[in-house]
Amino acid sequence: MASYSRSEERTQATSGRLAAGFGWGVVATLAMSVLMVIGVTTGISPMPSPIPEAIASKILSGAPQPLILLLAVTSHLAYGGVWGSILGSLTRPVTIWKGVGLGVFLWLLMQVTVLPFLGWGLFGAGVTLKIAGATLILHLIYGTTLGWLMDRK
């Protein structure tokens, strides 16, 4: 029977929280992404294209569409997973409100960095301010899903 020190137990617990946070972050990202894609493909969304695809298109300008989509999907899922890991490792328990807080933080980060990078302006004002509202809803879905699933008993 193996004997573990407190340090090893903490390391295992932290590793477990990181892995769980990553997994639930990916699930939460899938939830928001499905709605984003439905919104864009049906014309309900004010976004000209899904934001992960727009980022990948800008970075890989002129690349084949399958490569752009592969980068968009994998990077978006990884991004959501990493933030889920961060939340899971920094806070116990993860609650819906903590997840919502993370979602709002990530939304604000996107509004002032990603959207201007895409040429859409702060809060999407270069295209339409409706982008800010649509992306807030998506990030609230991410945060609520992550917060609900992470430490669910």
- The domain ranges of the chain are 6-150
Query: At how many degrees (to 10) do helices 96-109 and 130-150 cross?
Result: 150
pTM over 0.85: yes
Can you tell me the distance from the alpha carbon of 45 to that of 54, in angstroms, rounded to the nearest whole number? 14
Instruction: Please give the radius of gyration of the chain, using alpha carbons only, rounded to the nearest integer.
Output: 17
Whole-number pLDDT of residue 127: 95
Does the N-terminal peptide bond of residue 66 adopt cis geometry, omega within 30 degrees of 0? Answer: no
Q: Retrieve residue 93's tokens.
A: 């328990």
What parts of the chain have a pLDDT lower than 50? none
